[in-house]
């Protein structure tokens, strides 16, 4: 049997007709950048998350970059984050003009450890940037308490976590800015790059709209242009970026959004099956959904002894698997100047040597997931 890590073709076939109608409508009207379709999708995302404002942009990476700038990061000010994440989390800090400060993660949730965050705060700290890794929210209550008691801002990197919850709160809505990615492999993925920022503060939202459109002025509302995201053309209050969400992406994403909850339920069902089928396998640790959290399993990531051998075994038997991530950020050569050393963040470093993500996409069949579990159990002699 062949079981891919992800099969986007199955999902596409289920939405193809409606999505193509939307795409054709965009092309026929030639309203391809921002415009009413993007504005409607922004409203839908805000409603889905329970946020006051949603602002589309060109990618999840840009969402972090613009969010950090809207929160005042510049001139080397420090942003505390995790080294166990995709590169964009820290790369955007540098491109915003800030300095990443890494702290280790919790060994159970793989998310940033609030106690270590508190200890890392200095007079140059401006923002705390937790990552909701693999689709489970970081421990936001203590993080927000730490931020407020130290007059800091919080940006939630929720690229993998749209639809996840911490208690009654949706991922992205607990901090000052929440950022999402619509990269095709995400649980809500487009047909190319795309991103979204959410905020509850109107001034922050207005700044995000300006920054995504070259820093265009928002003061003259009677001259707003949808093609420029609400900003007045040729009048600039600041230097921003060209980071506008394409209407073609919104045209596809608006078809997918009403289906997201059902897809999340399917992912959670697959995860529950794996948790039971792989329980008690010596050498394997399955992911843990912490109390009060709603994990959406953008990835289903185990920790495995003899990880590389297991991955090869799965490949040999037709099962797709992936490493998220093989090297922590503090050991990337571009961050050598920050002065971190190997061994400084032992949990993150261990996760990078043991993590393995298994197929969990919504369209995965019962037979396929059973085959995945059987193949793993056979490797460990379980």
Domain total in the chain: 2
Helix (H) or strand (E) holding 370: helix 366-379
Report the pLDDT value the prediction gives residue 233, as an integer from 0 to 100. 72
**Tens digits of per-residue pLDDT, 1-54?**
999 999 999 999 999 999 999 999 999 999 888 889 999 999 999 999 999 999
**Domain assignment present for 148:** yes
CATH code of the domain containing 269: 3.90.1150.10
Same domain (yes/no): 253, 371: no
Q: How far apart are the C-alpha atoms of 117 and 223, rounded to whole Å?
A: 44
Same domain (yes/no): 239, 264: no
Is 223's pLDDT higher than 50?
Answer: no
Tell me the whole-structure pTM to 2 decimals: 0.95
Least confident of 49-53, 126-130, 199-203, 214-218: 214-218
Query: Which of these three, 225, 257, 289, is where a domain ends?
Result: 257
Same domain (yes/no): 319, 231: no
The beta strands (E) that lie in 15-159 are given as 53-57, 78-81, 99-102, 125-128, 153-157
Is 265's pLDDT higher than 60?
Answer: yes
Same domain (yes/no): 286, 143: no
Same domain (yes/no): 207, 295: no
**Span 141-166, mean pLDDT?**
98
Same domain (yes/no): 55, 189: yes
**How many residues does the structure list for the chain?**
382
Q: How far apart are the C-alpha atoms of 222 and 232, rounded to whole Å?
A: 9
Is 262's pLDDT higher than 70?
Answer: yes
Which of 26, 42, 153 has its CA nearest to residue 93?
153
**Tens digits of per-residue pLDDT, 83-122?**
999 999 999 999 999 999 999 999 999 999 999 999 999 9
CATH code of the domain containing 156: 3.40.640.10
Which of 82, 95, 66 has its CA nearest to residue 334?
95
Instruction: Give the domain range for residue 360.
Output: 259-379
297 backbone φψ class: left, alpha, beta (φ>0; ψ -120 to 50): left
Helical ranges in 50-139 per DSSP H? 60-70, 88-95, 114-120
Q: How far apart are the first and last CA of the chain?
A: 20
Strand 125-128 and strand 78-81: the pairing is parallel
Report the pLDDT value the prediction gives residue 219, as an integer from 0 to 100. 64
What's the CA angle centered on 195, arms 194 and 198, to 5 degrees?
A: 155
**Domain assignment present for 2:** no
**Tens digits of per-residue pLDDT, 322-352?**
999 999 999 999 999 999 999 999 999 999 9
């Amino acid at each position: 049997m062949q079981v891919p890590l992800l099969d986007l073709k199955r999902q596409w076939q289920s939405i193809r007709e409606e999505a193509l109608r939307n795409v054709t409508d965009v092309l026929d009207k030639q309203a391809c950048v921002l415009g009413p379709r993007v504005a409607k999708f922004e409203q839908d995302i805000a409603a889905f998350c329970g946020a006051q404002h949603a602002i589309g942009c060109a990618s999840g990476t840009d969402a972090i970059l613009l969010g950090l700038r809207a929160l005042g990061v510049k001139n080397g000010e420090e942003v505390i984050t995790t080294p166990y994440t995709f590169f964009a989390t820290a790369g955007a800090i540098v491109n915003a003009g800030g300095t990443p400060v890494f702290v280790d993660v919790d060994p159970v949730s793989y998310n940033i450890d609030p106690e270590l965050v508190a200890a890392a705060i200095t007079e140059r700290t401006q923002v705390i940037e937790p990552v909701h890794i693999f689709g489970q929210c970081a421990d936001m209550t203590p993080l927000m308490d730490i931020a407020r008691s130290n007059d800091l801002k919080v940006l939630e990197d929720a690229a993998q976590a749209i639809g996840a919850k911490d208690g009654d709160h949706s991922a992205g809505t607990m901090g000052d800015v929440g950022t999402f990615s619509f990269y095709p492999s995400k649980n809500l993925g487009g047909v190319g790059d795309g991103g979204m920022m959410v905020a509850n503060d109107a001034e922050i939202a207005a700044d995000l709209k300006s920054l995504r459109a070259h820093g265009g002025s928002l003061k003259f509302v009677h001259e707003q242009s949808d093609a420029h995201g609400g900003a007045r053309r040729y009048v600039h209050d600041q230097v921003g970026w060209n980071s506008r969400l394409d209407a073609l992406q919104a045209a596809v994403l608006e078809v997918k959004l009403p289906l997201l909850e059902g897809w999340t339920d399917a992912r959670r069902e697959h995860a529950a099956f794996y948790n039971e089928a792989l329980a008690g396998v010596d050498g394997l640790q399955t992911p843990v959904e912490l109390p009060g959290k709603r994990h959406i399993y953008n990835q289903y990531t185990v920790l495995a002894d003899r990880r590389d051998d297991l991955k090869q075994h799965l490949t040999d038997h037709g099962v797709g698997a992936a490493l998220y991530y093989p090297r922590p950020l503090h050991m990337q050569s571009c961050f050598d100047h920050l002065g971190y050393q190997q061994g400084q963040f032992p949990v993150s470093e261990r996760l990078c040597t043991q993590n393995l993500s298994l197929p969990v996409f919504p369209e995965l069949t019962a037979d396929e997931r059973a085959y995945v579990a059987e193949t793993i159990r056979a490797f460990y002699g379980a």
